[in-house]
Amino acid sequence: MQWWNGDGHMGWMGIWWIIGAALIALVVWALLRSSRGPRNTSSESPEHVLKRRYATGEIDHATYQQMLTELKG
């Protein structure tokens, strides 16, 4: 079987391999990007985020008061 007969078949085969590899890479990239979960694109105000963190116990009262003062100041 002859792979190259002088009229450019090897060139086209190489291009198709590159296109195929690029498509596979694109699919893998899209799957990895979508598996990261939702991004924080909400329009919550900083005060609301701070209140939520305090309500869930992530920060204590002193930290809440300090951060709230810094946000308002």
Q: Are residues 4 and 22 in the same domain?
A: yes
Same domain for 44 and 33: no
Q: Is 23 in the same domain as 10? A: yes
Report the predicted TM-score, pTM, of the whole model to 2 decimal places: 0.42
Same domain, 73 and 51: yes
pLDDT at position 54 is 95
Domain region containing 65:
40-73
Q: Are residues 32 and 50 in the same domain?
A: no
What pLDDT is stored for residue 44 in this prediction?
83
Q: How many domains, the chain?
A: 2
Q: What is the mean pLDDT of the chain?
A: 84
Claim to verify: residue 1 and residue 32 sit in the same structural domain: yes
* Statement to judge: residues 57 and 28 lie in one domain: no
CA distance 71 to 36: 30
Say whether pLDDT at 35 is over 60. yes
For residues 17-45, give the mean pLDDT: 84
- Please write down the long-range contacts of 5-11, taking CB distance under 8 Å and 24 or more positions apart: none
